[in-house]
Amino acid sequence: MKIGIVCPYSWDVPGGVQQHIRDLAEALIEAGHDVSVISPADDDTPLPPYVTGAGRAVPVPYNGSVARLSFGFLSASRVRRWVNQGGFDVLHVHEPEIPSLSLLACWVASGPIVATVHTAIPRSRVLVVTYPVLRTALEKISGRIAVSEAARTTLVEHIGGDAVVIPNGVATHRYRKAEPLPGWPGAGGAIGFLGRLDEPRKGLAVLLKAFEILGQDRPGLRLLVAGPAADAEEVLYRVPAWLRDRIVLLGQVSEDDKIRVLHSVDVFCSPNTGGESFGIVTAEAMAAGVPVVASDIDAFRQVLHGGEAGELFATGDARDLARAAGQLLDDPARRATLSAAAVAAVARYDWSVVARDVLRVYETVVLGSTRVAVAQDTGGYPSRGWLP
Amino acid sequence: MTITDIVLIVAAALFIGVYVSWRAGRIDRLHARVDMARAALDATLLRRSSVSLELATSGLLDPATSLLLAAAVHGTRSAGPGGVVPTEAGRPRDLAESDLTRALRAAFSQPDFRSSMTGKEGADELLAEVEEATHQVFLARKFYNDVVALTREARSRPLARLLRLSGKAPAPVFFDMDDSLIADLPSATLAPPAGSAPLAG
């Protein structure tokens, strides 16, 4: 199948959508499909062979923050050229409601178009006002995918229409092997945490309290914390002074270092108190084969097979977390069992499996449709033909 | 005490009274001018918003640029206090208006933006109107900040402070925003972008 994928955000900036597209594209290529991605990118950025650059994204204010987006007729004509040359069977746009390449792709193309919604923004007056302008573009979408139930609900309630839920995949092969950070995990054992430090729902506070309990009778135990925070040092002041030099803060880490962090600890902890629809970080830890201790929220219960592939503790209960993590730290055999179970359990979230689900959507929208082509009514750019 | 002394004292008291009331009158007039300048600035900002929205929904632009502009206009409409005219809670108005400036600038500064518009019905008029409205915002803001500076200076004089000549009127505040004009206008005559912009006065 010839597949064209449109990325709305700069390829050179790390982000969830970009990573999703990269993993999906690589899984599809692996499965023998012909994939081309178009994405905003700086001209001097080295791009993988399957990515076509659509020029530099421009920083503009959008929704109260500054986003780097590609818009305007020059970007539109680049997308048109790409569509024209690609001869795609299906076009897959991501985040079409963001004013960037994906929206432009919907505008300039005709034929089977699949759209993936990552973060559904409640429909605002903006969309209503510009709806005549957007309608022609968005109405061409023949199948929608939402990456989480939450995104789907917002879509159904606020934008209308329905979507199939296909969660993010995990590129498990990327996680399987990595060199631990020098000196880790160390003889005294180590616990790991990944996520925003100052987002209360990520639950770092629960872990710190549990670490205080564990640290009292485990003198060598250390805590490895990776993730961005407005004020990382503040974290250290939440624990007693005698414990502080046993907590190592790495700040935001690169994708590669994240995998090394996972391989640097004996136990990985996901203490989230809620707000998690899938728990991608937990799944990544499982893919790395690290025994996981996670709070007992629906998302983790599901990914950990109800506790078979990792320990669950009462959500928000530091004492229970200390008990569960302590037992694991003391029991290498149990850790090995959980590690193997985790690797097996996470296989069903692998991108190769997820890509098959996406492919099924492609196959459905392609039925009874022609190929992707440049839309007639915008052929002679710039025309006003797309107005209702 | 002679008659002369009494006459002198009365004359001095009269003089002081007249002087103080003249100062008070001046401060009062300045406050009235601030109100007028604020209304004018508010009107130009609203005008710029509505013209921008017209451009966004005109069908002259690609949908991405349209959406970008419409979102920025929406931001100004739902902006909260922080600027000249407090509205319901939201993003401070000066930030929201600066966002609209930047969105317009991003749209207008695309290479060949102009030439892509030529020959399209109503395009030239609409673009000219957007630029006109943006330039008016620049002027109105300059005049507003000017009179605010004068008023603040008059209020801060020792006599005015001692005798509370400004009464209960709150001190007027500067309106700081990015209003550097979009395409085709000599940027040397324009205010630098917000952040680096010195307050008028």
Residue A64 pLDDT greater than 90, yes or no: no
Residue A33 pLDDT greater than 90, yes or no: yes
Same domain (yes/no): A134, A183: no
Look at chain A and report how many structural domains it folds into.
2
Contacts of A127 in chain B (CB under 8 A): 67
How would you label B152-173 residue by residue, b for 16+ Cβ within 10 Å and e otherwise?
bebbeeeebeeeebbeeeeebb
Contacts of B102 in chain A (CB under 8 A): 60-61
Residue B162: predicted pLDDT: 83
Residue B193: predicted pLDDT: 42
Residue A386 pLDDT greater than 70, yes or no: no
Same domain (yes/no): A94, A17: yes
User: Chain A interface, mutation test: which of B66, B67, B73, B127, most A Cβ atoms within 10 Å?
Assistant: B67
Same domain (yes/no): A158, A192: no
Contacts of B106 in chain A (CB under 8 A): 58, 60, 71
B74 touches chain A (CB under 8 A): yes
More confident residue, A373 or A5: A5
Residue B184: predicted pLDDT: 46
Same domain (yes/no): A180, A325: yes
Residue A159 is classified by DSSP as I
Q: Do A71 and B64 touch (CB under 8 A)?
A: yes
Angle between helices B63-77 and B3-56 (to 10 degrees): 150
* Per-residue model confidence as pLDDT tens digits over A341-365: 989 888 888 898 899 999 999 999 8
Q: Which amino acid is present at A182? A: P
Residue A380 pLDDT greater than 50, yes or no: no
Chain A residue with minimum CA distance to B96: A64
Among A63, A70, A73, the residue with its CB nearest the CB of B71 is A63
Contacts of A76 in chain B (CB under 8 A): 62, 64
* Per-residue model confidence as pLDDT tens digits over A76-96: 989 999 999 999 999 999 988
Provide the residue-wise pLDDT of chain B in tens; the chain has 201 residues.
Answer: 788 899 999 999 999 999 888 888 888 899 999 999 999 999 999 999 999 999 988 888 888 999 899 989 988 887 765 455 544 455 688 888 999 999 999 888 887 787 777 777 888 889 999 999 999 999 999 999 999 999 998 888 888 888 888 778 788 888 888 887 654 444 433 444 443 333 333
Contacts of B108 in chain A (CB under 8 A): none
Neighbours of A373 (CB within 10 A): 17
In the predicted model, what is the mean pLDDT of residues A218-223? 87
Answer yes or no: is A386 within a domain: no
B67 touches chain A (CB under 8 A): yes
Counting DSSP H helices and E strands in chain B, the numbers are 6, 0
Contacts of B91 in chain A (CB under 8 A): 64
Residue A21 pLDDT greater than 60, yes or no: yes
Residue A100 pLDDT greater than 80, yes or no: yes
Answer yes or no: is A388 within a domain: no
Among B91, B106, B116, the residue with its CB nearest the CB of A64 is B91
Strands A190-194 and A267-270: parallel
User: Chain B interface, mutation test: which of A38, A69, A73, A128, most B Cβ atoms within 10 Å?
Assistant: A73
Residue B185: predicted pLDDT: 42
Residue B81: predicted pLDDT: 55
Q: Do B57 and A75 touch (CB under 8 A)?
A: no
More confident residue, A307 or A49: A49
At A276, is the secondary structure helix, strand, or coil?
Answer: coil
Q: How far is CA A237 from CA A38, A197, A338, in A?
A: 46, 13, 33
Answer yes or no: is A385 within a domain: no
Nearest Cα to Cα of residue A274 among A253, A288, A295:
A295
Q: Give the domain extent around A252.
A: 173-349
* Per-residue model confidence as pLDDT tens digits over A237-294: 888 888 888 888 888 888 888 898 999 999 999 888 876 667 788 888 999 989 999 9
User: Chain B interface, mutation test: which of A68, A129, A138, most B Cβ atoms within 10 Å?
Assistant: A129
B107 touches chain A (CB under 8 A): yes
Same domain (yes/no): A181, A147: no
Neighbours of A137 (CB within 10 A): 28
Element (H, E) at A313: strand A311-313
Same domain (yes/no): A248, A357: no
Contacts of B72 in chain A (CB under 8 A): 61-62
Identify the band that residue A49 occupies on the pLDDT scale cut at 50, 70 and 90: very high
Closest chain A C-alpha to B37 CA, distance in angstroms: 28
Q: Do A133 and B57 touch (CB under 8 A)?
A: yes
Q: Do A384 and B57 touch (CB under 8 A)?
A: no
Same domain (yes/no): A211, A222: yes
Q: Do A64 and B67 touch (CB under 8 A)?
A: no
Same domain (yes/no): A133, A244: no
Residue B80: predicted pLDDT: 63
List Cβ neighbours of A203 (8 Å cut-off, separation of 6 or more): A270, A271, A272, A273, A295, A316
Same domain (yes/no): A162, A197: no
Closest chain A C-alpha to B193 CA, distance in angstroms: 14
| Torsional sign, CA A97, A102, A105, A111 | negative
* Per-residue model confidence as pLDDT tens digits over A123-177: 555 666 677 777 778 888 888 998 877 778 877 776 667 888 888 888 888 888 8
Q: Kindly report the CATH number assigned to the domain that includes residue A37.
A: 3.40.50.2000
Residue A185: predicted pLDDT: 81
Strands A113-117 and A90-94: parallel
Same domain (yes/no): A253, A329: yes
Among B56, B62, B74, the residue with its CB nearest the CB of A104 is B62
Q: How far apart are CA A286 and CA A304, in angstroms?
A: 9
Answer yes or no: is A116 within a domain: yes
Closest chain A C-alpha to B25 CA, distance in angstroms: 43
Across chain A, what does the average pLDDT equal?
84
Peptide bond into A185 cis (omega under 30): yes
Residue B139: predicted pLDDT: 92
Query: Whole-structure pTM over 0.80, yes or no?
Result: no
Among A100, A107, A125, the residue with its CB nearest the CB of B74 is A125
Residue A121: predicted pLDDT: 64
Contacts of A386 in chain B (CB under 8 A): 59, 63
Q: Give the domain ranges of chain B.
A: 3-182
Same domain (yes/no): A157, A208: no
Residue A374 pLDDT greater than 50, yes or no: yes
Answer yes or no: is A220 within a domain: yes
Contacts of A135 in chain B (CB under 8 A): none
Q: Do B63 and A134 touch (CB under 8 A)?
A: yes
Answer yes or no: is A387 within a domain: no
At B11, is the secondary structure helix, strand, or coil?
Answer: helix
Same domain (yes/no): A148, A247: no
Residue A144 is classified by DSSP as E
Answer yes or no: is A257 within a domain: yes
Interface A:B, Cβ pairs < 8 A: 105
Chain A residue with minimum CA distance to B118: A382
